[in-house]
Amino acid sequence: DTGVSQDPRHKITKRGQNVTFRCDPISEHNRLYWYRQTLGQGPEFLTYFQNEAQLEKSRLLSDRFSAERPKGSFSTLEIQRTEQGDSAMYLCASSSQPSGTGNTIYFGEGSWLTVV
Amino acid sequence: AQSVTQPDIHITVSEGASLELRCNYSYGATPYLFWYVQSPGQGLQLLLKYFSGDTLVQGIKGFEAEFKRSQSSFNLRKPSVHWSDAAEYFCAVGVMEYGNKLVFGAGTILRVKS
């Protein structure tokens, strides 16, 4: 079990540029989640996938944000035309499908985005 | 809507003293409850979880939490705090209807005095 891996860990970009983050979940976890965390706040849910299907998107996920999980393994989160308000840590997490008794969601180390 | 309240933004305790971090939740069904810890600039590490059964759950690093349905609370405790426990602690409720996504509280920053 290698844990949830995220890349890059840090990204500084100019306003208006596009950025992409990658997440590799724990192998055989079929659920993958993206969260956003700003300073002084708890993580906020953005979206989740079950296998390759994106099953829910938060209202926080504006049309500048897009997430994919093309083969049900790794996932990418792209932010187009970045704004300073996008500066945050983007957390990826994964879990196995609940068996009726709940399951545990494991988080990666996060990808820090700074928009200047 | 589901929500989690952590009333204390900051808590300072002396090393060796006991600790209790408060968490209250709002959720219409039987909750799945979690405590995570986050060191600066790092991701979240699971401390413990409650799904069902015994309302007192044990976690890693000597932490425990007690689920009290009547008070809608899931407070985290540790009998003797170590300097390495200084971090931010997040309580979360799992929303089963939506893929078990987590709704987090705003966190409590723990400072440990030597």
pLDDT in tens, A78-103: 999 999 999 999 999 998 876 555 57
User: b or e along A52-73 (b: 16 or more beta carbons within 10 Å of the residue's beta carbon)?
Assistant: eebebebeebeeebebebeeeb
Query: Does position A1 have pLDDT exceeding 60, yes or no?
Result: no
The confidence score (pLDDT) of residue B29 equals: 77
Query: Does position B99 have pLDDT exceeding 80, yes or no?
Result: no
Mean pLDDT on B50-75: 94
Interface check A42 vs B, CB under 8 A: yes
**Closest chain A residue to B42, measured at CA:** A109
Mean pLDDT on B51-71: 93
Q: Are B100 and B33 in contact (CB under 8 A)?
A: no
Who among B4, B36, B101 is closest to A45 (CB)?
B101
**Closest chain A residue to B4, measured at CA:** A42
Between chains, do B36 and A106 touch, taking CB under 8 Å as contact? no
Provide the residue type at B61 as one letter. Answer: K
Residues of A in contact with B43 (CB under 8 A): 4, 6, 91, 107-110
State whether residue A27 is helix, strand or coil: coil
